[in-house]
Amino acid sequence: MTSRYDAVVFDLDGTLIDTESLCNAAGVEACAALGLPVSGEFFESLAGIDDRTRVQLIGEHVGTAVDLSAFLAAWDRLCIERFAQGIPLKPGAIELLEQIAAAGIPLALATSSRRGPAEDKLRMAGLARHFRTVVTFDDVAAPKPAPDAYLLAVDRLGVPPARALAFEDSETGARAAHAAGLTVVQVPDLHPTQGAHAHHVASSLLEGAAMAGLLPV
């Protein structure tokens, strides 16, 4: 397999692993435990947003300040309970990662998750070995939709942004990757997209890879 790209950077939740619905349910349960009336629909609207901003938006939504530490502790615990039953992968995820690795193209991860939860999810899903570097919320000054995570990921790989391909599911993530100068493949998860920040919009990872010229058609 030949490629026009020198690096590929993936988002995690909703892109490689099918965790958004699990985490949303856990988030609603964590809110309920803290006396915060938050619906599943509202929590779904926060897809792709970092944890700190998510908590701020929950506070604005319910009209009261939210204890960040208490919420994150409850949310992490409930997510891990669900993940322990198995983390489902997105269709084609393993096949695509293995084909990219076989072509000798370095892989990075750029996620809005904090490092601890991100590493837990990678380990439990069996994906950690594929990535040369992992950039999390804890590594950047400004999370997605700022371009910082993607800029740091390609910098660590020693590749110019214009020579890198990004895979994202959310508008927030696609906006971040586009702002960083990467070619963007968006594979929507919970919400449809108009593709305003994507070069290619696909129904699956493998379809997106072919559309972007990463894989032969």
Token code pair at residue 168: 């994202």
Rounded to 5, what percent of the chain is helix, strand, coil? 50, 10, 40
Tell me whether strands 183-186 and 107-110 are parallel, antiparallel or unpaired.
unpaired
CB contact at 8 A, 175 and 193 = no
Strands, E assignment, the chain: 7-10, 107-110, 133-135, 164-168, 183-186, 200-201
Look up 6 and say whether it is catalytic.
no
Q: Of the residues 6, 13, 67, 155, which is catalytic?
A: 13
Look up 11 and say whether it is catalytic.
yes
Please tell me the distance from the alpha carbon of residue 59 to that of residue 67, in angstroms, as a whole number.
9
SS3 state at 42: helix
State yes or no: cis peptide before 147, omega within 30 of 0: no
Sign of CA dihedral 6, 107, 159, 188: positive
Q: Of the residues 6, 11, 67, 155, which is catalytic?
A: 11
The set of catalytic residues is 11, 13
